[in-house]
Amino acid sequence: YDDDIGKTDLQTQLEQCIKLISVFPMLAVYGYHAYNYYECGGSMYIHRPDPSLSTAENLLKMLRPDQKYTDLEAHVLDIALLLHMEHGGGNNSTFTTRVVTSSGSDTYSVIAAALSSLKGPKHGGANIKVMQMMDDIRAHVADPLDEEAMADYLGRIVDRQAFDQKGLIYGMGHAVYSLSDPRAVVFKSFVHQLADAKGRSRDFEYYNTIERLAPQVIAEKRHIYKGVSTNVDFYSGFVYDMLGIPVELYTPIFAIARIVGWSAHRMEELVNMDKIIRPAYQSIMQPRDYVPLEER
């Protein structure tokens, strides 16, 4: 629908990015309502956004049938969007943004590639795995304050004897952060406020106990002593659940936030670089004599 898709000047690229940032909440929420109507037999709501409201307020307004939300709900969602908005160039989807930008591709193809990266369960889908794990833990540990039972079950998860047998406590650890993920530290106090307001304090205790015990269990079982801490994915799914946001929108909400960072990195790549990113691979195979096909 963009007649300027072929233009390569920086002003056009910037305008395209800003337009996408503005319409992503609508694309996500309307897409969900269409899916819920056509695939799940639910009702479809089309509420127009209000230009005077924030992205978080409009997202809740468009999603909910009654269009109502509290100031605390909107504020906590706004904090979540801010914390997910940018995270340097090393994360997978942002690196994808830079790689595809470096090829000279258009804005829409670049963002589509970034979305494809974010879709992966090891990236944007991580908070869904946290929610699934928490459901499993609640089913096996009756009291969130029973530290002995909690540590034992977390140990079983790490030993691949429980949950999905992958040996991972989801929401724990980060490729860069070891002492703490500053995003999770900031987020936790707001999560606590929302949990109290929603009557979910007991659920919050599960998260609090796991956050305290998991690093000890992982250090003991995996002999990792550099430090393991919660990352922002540990709490984000819990927040979305308390806000009544369907799980199908968890990753799209991540995209609503992160497209701001993607856009910034795209513009920086266009301004500062004019060379395609081409990774170099080094083979570790040993030389072998050629064997004719008929002799294999």
* Confidence at residue 126, expressed as pLDDT on a 0 to 100 scale: 85
To the question of pTM greater than 0.85 for the whole model, the response is yes
Catalytic member of 106, 181, 233, 241: 233
Catalytic member of 174, 181, 241, 265: 174
* Confidence at residue 169, expressed as pLDDT on a 0 to 100 scale: 93
* Confidence at residue 180, expressed as pLDDT on a 0 to 100 scale: 67
3-state secondary structure the chain: CCCCCCCCCHHHHHHHHHHHHHHHHHHHHHHHHHHHHHCCCCCCCCCCCCCCCCHHHHHHHHHCCCCCCCHHHHHHHHHHHHHHCCCCCCCHHHHHHHHHHHCCCCHHHHHHHHHHHHCCCCCCCHHHHHHHHHHHHHHHCCCCCCHHHHHHHHHHHHCCCCCCCCCCCCCECCCCCCCCCHHHHHHHHHHHHHHHHHCCHHHHHHHHHHHHHHHHHHHHHHCCCCCCCECCHHHHHHHHHHCCCCHHHHHHHHHHHHHHHHHHHHHHHHHHCCCCCCCCCCCCCCCCCCCCHHHC
**Residue 9 among the catalytic residues:** no
* Confidence at residue 174, expressed as pLDDT on a 0 to 100 scale: 57
* Confidence at residue 230, expressed as pLDDT on a 0 to 100 scale: 86
* Confidence at residue 175, expressed as pLDDT on a 0 to 100 scale: 54
Residues of the chain where predicted confidence (pLDDT) is lower than 70: 174-180, 225-226
Domains of the chain with CATH codes: 10-121+248-272 (1.10.580.10), 126-242 (1.10.230.10)
**Residue 241 among the catalytic residues:** no
